[in-house]
Structure 1
Amino acid sequence: MDRFHVARSMKQLMKNHPRYRYMKRALRNYQVDSLFLELNSAVGTMDTPEEEEKLAHFLAFLTHHQETIKDYRSWLQEKGVDTTAYRPMGSAEAMMNQLAKR
């Protein structure tokens, strides 16, 4: 899982929520605790019961997989790997369009 797919799902669900920009910022900066704080604060504020249910499922999914949305480079650094030349997850996918055009 990478931030692109989490961000896409979060946008589909939360784009009209007043705290959405803070959620995006937390995800972009790998601030997992802040992201969960923002998402949990949205519980009970959604427009419809269906949106509340979708938020509950999204939160459960992210809670189960929260280690995977952290920056993989921090894991490698803890193991002593030099990650200065490493790019964030999802960087390769963005380049696929450019390669396909060539």
Structure 2
Amino acid sequence: MLVLIVSALLFSLSSNLDNIVVGLAFGIKKIHLDAVSNLTVAIITTTGTVIAMLFGRWLSGYIPNRIGNDLGAGIIILLGAYFSIQGIVKLLKEKNQAAMP
């Protein structure tokens, strides 16, 4: 159980690297969050990570590793394709709007 908690904490730290981008975006827009708000977000994120990892550990008893790996890879590929397509569509719309007089 201790290994699971430590790995969840390490994972939550690594997954929160995207908070740097959010922090930069907030800084650019001059939005400031106090320490209590930041701590609340960190606690909620960490709790969600621990719960997801516990659920994944439970689910791994019912789904073979190969299927879990394939599902995870498929989800990541689908998300990557979705966001790539969204980015291309946005660029095309901006290009078309800029070309119109």
Q: What's the TM-score once normalised by structure 1's chain length?
A: 0.36
Which structure exhibits the higher relative contact order, with contacts defined as CA atoms closer than 8 Å and separated by 6 or more residues? 2
Q: What's the TM-score once normalised by structure 2's chain length?
A: 0.36
Larger Rg: 2
Larger fraction in helix: 2
